[in-house]
Amino acid sequence: MKIGIIGSGHIGGTLTRRLRALGHDVTVANSRGPASLTELAEETGATAGTVEQAVDHADLVVIAIPLLALPALPAELFEGKVVVDADNYYPQRDGDIAELLDRSLSSSRWTAEHLKGARVVKAFNNIQAQHLLENGRPAGSADRIALPVAGDEADAKRIVMELVDALGFDSVDAGTLDESWRQQPDTPVYGTDLDAAGVRQGLAAARP
């Protein structure tokens, strides 16, 4: 696939490395501009680009930036795109966002409301970057980690779940974007590297 990655930090950089290793055509962008991505591009064979270049013609776009930076993205670029939301809301970093503080919205629903027309799917937000880089395993492995995947559109969710599998992780359908709070920070599945049965149990055990 042609994949755009917005963000070159821990998760964005890791997905750039992993997805290029799988043979995908990756363009990566960040807030500092393409010149700051020369080293990552040379290491991985990814293309360093602007946000517009990363999204343009992409089959799928990953957003892995601080949540506070998301409203500055040009929402019209993402119209009709499958967008993987790998973000988390951390009040100490992102500031007070009332509807996220009181959990009246999941952070992915908040993201989807900013990116009207995008096909948003929540994934990769609950695993540590080092584990995402190193701990993928072949299908059927006894120690295979599972990742929850939430979204409103079955087809968009299927695309992301297939990508999760290709990266070496089982995927667990975590419901809709409104249910994706069950994989946010301070829930049983956050940062815990559970197997598929454990993820299902953790999602069910989560409390608002």
Q: pLDDT tens, 87-121?
A: 999 999 999 999 999 999 999 999 999 999 999 99
Is residue 208 pLDDT above 90, yes or no? Answer: no
| pTM score of the predicted model | 0.97
Using one digit for the tens of pLDDT, what is the confidence trace for 129-159? Answer: 999 999 999 999 999 999 999 999 999 999 9
pLDDT at 176: 98
The secondary structure of the chain as a DSSP string is -EEEEE--SHHHHHHHHHHHHTT-EEEEE-TT-GGGGHHHHHHH-PEE--HHHHHTT-SEEEE-S-GGGGGGS-GGGGTT-EEEE-----HHHH---HHHHTTSS-HHHHHHHHSTT-EEEE-SSSS-HHHHHH----TT-TT--EEEEEES-HHHHHHHHHHHHHTT-EEEE---GGGGGGGSTTSTTTT----HHHHHHHHHH---
